[in-house]
């Protein structure tokens, strides 16, 4: 039981913590076992959860095990009813947010150790284990050796998300272009119209863009018919800006866009940057592979890596599709010096012998915040538990299930694929009826998705694909397969539900 010394703070005694820990782990395991009993999307209205919580903080703490009983009751009566169950095997919306047993145990270890790994000296194991695990990922994904921590200028680090990685890359790019091409000319960043919104936010945060409507300093480039960035359009935009006295300094390419899973062609993009002189002047090419990067553990899915020799930084999210719970983004660069130049600050109270020697890595200089958790533990345990072969089998099975879903769509004339399948992402919709206006087709698809998600049996999300050529803008449904516990039966049940609702 809790310590009851007069005037003492009632910390959990070791034995009580142990018992509560056993119970909490048991509750989590039980939750995973009964995931399919819950409606996938939380059936609540705004304010419903808050209405079940006291308006004021507690005056007295919990009284031992009896008091904690109320916590477990609230988990059942307050938290679960208000939870959208991302771990449900029938959750097919957005992109996956994987959780696995090894990752949760690693998160528990990180919390228990409580390491603040801002410097090598404040967490030698935290730093060196992370560097080694990131090097494992370079090998597992088939990335260039210049991204290894053991290379002369490269290395990897865990960021919180791909959004943070993009910001760090842009800040480093800004520092390098100012050093290599001094001057006051305005900076310009480029990406396709399908790039993630984090690019614009990064540009706003580091002062490149004035606001979210700034299309002068953040140029969104037209795509080709596959929704990948059009290299010819990129070259025209860069040439125009150079002629206008601006400084192109950053290009973000995407492997697996959020809307449709489109892949930007790195080779032609790199050639454009070289041909226009952007590379020689210090320009930076960043690759956002937040979702699709996990598939690179399978050699057969590495076509998108062609042209990586021109890439300055690369990131992907193990917390999306590689069985590692949020937050965990793997960020790699071949120019760690640019990160240090842009982000290193050394106040007196952080000075230490190891840092001064220059022989260690201080990851505080590779990220926006100073502090950092021991996040590498969960990734370490995931890689050790599953191994290369287990991770490959996991990815391949989801791709197989997506192929099955595509086959079912092709057999039903009421439906159509919106774009070719991208790994385990399928964009599809109800096909247009004869002489039906595009707006009416969109409305039918919107209504279908609303009815589908309202059942609570599955959850899908949507996107709007822009018109290309004579093809109009289209509202489409997204089937993103990637749940830890998703099996063929769950995908088939979703398809059968779609067919039934389409008949109503």
Q: What is the pLDDT of residues 50-90, one digit of tens each?
A: 999 999 998 888 876 678 999 999 999 999 999 999 999 99
Task: Give the total number of structural domains in the chain.
Answer: 1
The three-state secondary structure class of 357 is helix
Residues 228, 422 contacting (CB under 8 angstroms): no
Phi, psi of 115 (to 5 degrees): -75, 135
Nearest to 293 by CA among 151, 145, 461, 422: 422
> Which of 197-201, 230-234, 401-405, 448-452 is least confident?
197-201
Whether 57 is covered by a domain: the verdict is: yes
For 142-199, the pLDDT digits (tens) are: 999 999 999 999 999 999 999 999 999 999 999 999 999 898 899 999 999 999 988 9
CA 291 to each of CA 196, 234, 378: distance values in angstroms, whole numbers, following the listed order: 11, 24, 18
Q: Are strands 313-316 and 284-288 parallel, antiparallel or unpaired?
A: parallel
- 483 against 350, higher pLDDT: 483
Q: Does the structure show a pLDDT above 50 at 1?
A: no
Q: Does the structure show a pLDDT above 60 at 464?
A: yes
Whether 41 is covered by a domain: the verdict is: yes
Residues 414, 171 contacting (CB under 8 angstroms): no
Whether 185 is covered by a domain: the verdict is: no
User: Alpha-carbon distance 362 to 130, whole Å?
Assistant: 11
Whether 33 is covered by a domain: the verdict is: yes
Whether 375 is covered by a domain: the verdict is: no
Residues 402, 425 contacting (CB under 8 angstroms): yes
The residue assigned the tokens 């700034």 is: 214
Whether 243 is covered by a domain: the verdict is: no
Which strands form 474-480's sheet, in the order they lie side by side?
415-417, 425-430, 474-480, 461-465
User: Alpha-carbon distance 138 to 297, whole Å?
Assistant: 10
User: Alpha-carbon distance 388 to 402, whole Å?
Assistant: 22
Helix (H) or strand (E) holding 199: helix 198-205
Whether 40 is covered by a domain: the verdict is: yes
Q: How many helices (H) and strands (E) does the chain have?
A: 15, 11
Per-residue pLDDT band for 6 (boundaries 50, 70, 90) equals low
SS3 of 426-480: the string is: EEEEECCCCCCCHHHHHHHHHHHHHHHHHCCCCECEEEEECCECCECCEEEEEEE
CA 375 to each of CA 135, 294, 483: distance values in angstroms, whole numbers, following the listed order: 15, 18, 21
Give the whole-number percent of the chain exceeding pLDDT 90.
82
- Looking at residue 472, its pLDDT comes to 87
Give the whole-number percent of the chain exceeding pLDDT 70.
98
- Looking at residue 475, its pLDDT comes to 96
The pair of structure tokens assigned to 167 is 């910001």
Whether 121 is covered by a domain: the verdict is: no
Q: Does the structure show a pLDDT above 90 at 358?
A: no
Structure pTM? 0.93
The residue assigned the tokens 């774009």 is: 419
User: Alpha-carbon distance 327 to 336, whole Å?
Assistant: 22
Please list, in sequence order, all residues whose beta carbon lies within 8 angstroms of the beta carbon of residue 331, skipping any fewer than 6 positions away.
156, 157, 158, 159, 165, 168, 169, 313, 314, 315, 366
CATH number, domain at 30? Answer: 1.20.1340.10
Per-residue pLDDT band for 5 (boundaries 50, 70, 90) equals low
101 burial type by CB count under 10 A (0-12 exposed, 13-18 middle, 19+ buried): middle
User: Alpha-carbon distance 75 to 493, whole Å?
Assistant: 29
| Mean pLDDT to the nearest integer, 396-416 | 97
- Looking at residue 64, its pLDDT comes to 66
Q: What is the DSSP letter of 11?
A: P
Domain carrying residue 45: 14-85
Q: Does the structure show a pLDDT above 80 at 470?
A: no
Phi, psi of 219 (to 5 degrees): -95, 120
DSSP string, 105-139: HHHHHHHHH----SSTTT-HHHHHHHHHHHHHHHH
User: Alpha-carbon distance 360 to 25, whole Å?
Assistant: 37
């Amino acid at each position: 039981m809790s310590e009851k010394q007069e005037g003492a703070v009632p910390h959990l005694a070791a034995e009580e913590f142990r018992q509560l820990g056993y119970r909490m782990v048991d509750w989590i395991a039980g939750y995973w076992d009964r995931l399919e009993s819950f409606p996938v999307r939380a059936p609540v209205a705004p304010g419903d959860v808050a209405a079940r919580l006291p308006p004021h903080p507690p005056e007295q703490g919990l009284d031992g095990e009896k008091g904690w009983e109320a916590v477990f009751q609230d988990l059942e009566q307050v938290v679960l009813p208000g939870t959208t169950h991302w771990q449900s095997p029938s959750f097919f919306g957005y992109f996956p947010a994987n959780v696995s047993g090894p990752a949760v145990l690693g998160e528990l270890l990180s919390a228990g150790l409580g390491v603040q790994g801002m410097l090598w000296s404040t967490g030698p194991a935290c730093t060196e284990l992370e560097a080694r695990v990131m090097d494992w990922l370079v090998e597992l994904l088939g990335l260039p050796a210049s991204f290894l921590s053991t290379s002369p200028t490269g290395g990897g680090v865990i960021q919180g998300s791909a959004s943070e990685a993009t910001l760090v890359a842009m800040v480093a790019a800004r520092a390098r272009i100012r050093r290599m091409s001094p001057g006051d000319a305005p900076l310009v960043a480029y990406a396709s119209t399908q790039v993630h919104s984090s690019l614009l936010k990064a540009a706003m945060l580091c002062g490149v863009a004035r606001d979210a409507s700034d299309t002068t300093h953040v140029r969104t480039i037209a795509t080709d018919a596959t929704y990948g960035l059009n290299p010819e359009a990129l070259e025209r935009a860069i040439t125009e800006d150079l002629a206008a006295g601006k400084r192109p300094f950053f290009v973000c390419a995407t492997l697996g866009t959020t809307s449709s899973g489109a892949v930007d062609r790195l080779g032609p993009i790199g050639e454009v940057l070289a041909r226009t002189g952007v590379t020689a002047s210090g320009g930076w090419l960043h690759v956002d592979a937040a979702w699709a990067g996990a598939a690179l553990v399978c050699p057969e899915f590495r076509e998108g890596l062609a042209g990586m020799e021109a890439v300055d930084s690369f990131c992907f999210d193990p917390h999306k599709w590689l069985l590692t719970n949020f937050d965990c983004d793997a960020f790699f660069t071949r120019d760690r010096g640019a990160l240090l130049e842009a982000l290193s600050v050394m106040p007196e109270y952080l000075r230490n012998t190891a840092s001064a020697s220059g022989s260690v890595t201080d990851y505080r200089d590779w990220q926006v915040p100073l502090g950092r958790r021991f996040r590498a533990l969960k990734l370490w345990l995931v890689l050790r538990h599953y191994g290369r072969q287990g991770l490959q089998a996991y990815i391949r099975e989801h791709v197989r299930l997506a192929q099955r879903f595509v086959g079912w769509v092709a057999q039903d004339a009421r439906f159509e694929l919106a774009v070719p399948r991208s790994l385990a992402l399928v964009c599809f919709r109800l096909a247009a009826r004869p002489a039906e206006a595009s707006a009416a087709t969109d409305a039918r698809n919107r209504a279908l998705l609303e009815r589908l998600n309202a059942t609570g049996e599955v959850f899908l999300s949507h996107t709007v694909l822009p018109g290309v050529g004579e093809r109009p803008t289209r509202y489409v449904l997204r089937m993103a397969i990637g749940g830890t516990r998703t099996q063929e039966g769950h995908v088939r049940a979703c398809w059968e539900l779609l067919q039934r609702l389409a008949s109503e």
